[in-house]
Structure 1
């Protein structure tokens, strides 16, 4: 494996994670599978550990600025962590490693396409959430907590299976559920903070299954740790519309490539 190339990949993804909360799985896992030839289950397991360490550095910078809404993090984790454990048990119960590989590749493509659509629809969903919040605040708040837990369940399943969703999909879900409470900076920080325990639990399970390449992990972290620090200081300074559309196009293209394999 090319250490320089892997470190460069980690740097680019680290900057994306720090600045937008997106990229830990949505970019890194397809990159490992399509360009570096890493087995899908190993790519998912290694990326989950990579994401947990990388995002921890990003959250440190955001937490120091008071951007993390820990109550929202707890609500998401109440659904995502049990769902992650259940998904790991299901994956372990699959008799054939080949079955797992095929399932993960198909799921990667489908989740990337869904993520691309969700990101492209972000302004519409944000507007819809704000309208519902202002039209009937009592009813909206009544369902806000259980819907957040349910969102966590969906993220726990998707992240454990594909390592994708904690950043991109999580941010879109939170934007709809908390349109007034979470500013753009708080949205990124809160989404990152939730992704850490989820990635740790899911990554630990994949580690036990034998899906983590520690040499590759170390090389990726060489670039990602300085990258996420750079990205966390760029957050809020980059044009959101341009970033969102560019990322959505990239994810959609990669998703189509995986679905067609």
Structure 2
């Protein structure tokens, strides 16, 4: 099996542990699977090799969580965020071509870090709770995706700034990421990234990821719901800081 995946036993085991942990976080929070895998597995596989794996694992996680997400989500808001993001990705890509990758990623991560910290300090941005704020968040997510592939984190910030209950917040993120897998699939096909080895690796990592998602879903109970928002915001702060540290080293 390891020969087919072009990985050693130790590398595959470490990837499986990473995917289980990422699935656990995804099952509880509704996001961050790809961010955790990208941040943790980059020493084993290149980011380009990880992209199709993350796409497949996001699709699996979304399928496992979509039932509850579909029922509880604000579908109109999720679709608006997705469309705004899909339309604005070329804007981010345009800036990426004219600005260094390190600078664009640093700007995006610093912005997410500052906004997450302000929300942890209970400083709410009233503008985000308007229709214009919803559209702006979708466009901002698309630009952030083009700049630094952190559009999901921007949407998470928007959702967490709302007055919705934790179950609705989580459902909106689940639905947005499910819709996003459609756009990503078309992009991966266009660039020819979905090769045989990538799909074999993704298939092999499906089981540990699914177990993690299942465990994370079990943790999302009424007893833990009050902690949902601070946990997610702290996660965004942590992911942003890890990204900035990696850029600095």
If the TM-score is normalised by the length of the shorter chain, which range does it land in?
A: 0.7 to 0.9
Q: Is 1:128–2:114 an aligned residue pair?
A: no
Q: Distance in 1 between matches of 2:116 and 2:247?
A: 19
The aligned runs of 1:1-261 (5 Å cut-off) are 1=7, 2-33=11-42, 35-36=43-44, 38-63=45-70, 66-84=71-89, 86=90, 103=101, 107-108=104-105, 110-124=107-121, 127-129=123-125, 132=126, 144-159=130-145, 162-166=148-152, 168-176=153-161, 178-179=162-163, 182-212=164-194, 213-236=198-221, 237-238=223-224, 239-240=227-228, 243-244=231-232, 247-248=235-236, 250-261=238-249
CA RMSD of aligned residues (A): 3.3
Secondary structure at 1:81 match in 2: helix
Check the 8 A contact 2:92/2:142 in 1, yes or no: no
Find the aligned partners of 1:148 and 1:215 in 2 and give their Cα distance.
38
What is the TM-score normalised by the length of structure 2?
0.76
Deviation at 1:12, TM superposition (A): 0.8
Change (3 A) 1:253 1:74: closer
> Alpha-carbon deviation of 1:249?
5.3
Distance in 2, Cα, partners of 1:162 & 1:49: 20
Contact 2:81 2:137 in 1 (8 A): yes
CA distance in 2, matches of 1:88, 1:108: 11
Q: Distance in 1 between matches of 2:91 and 2:188?
A: 11
1:193-215, Cα deviation, whole Å (9 max, x unpaired): 11111233124303321334223
TM-score with structure 1 setting the length? 0.73
Query: Counterparts of 1:116 and 1:216 in 2: how far apart (Å)?
Result: 32
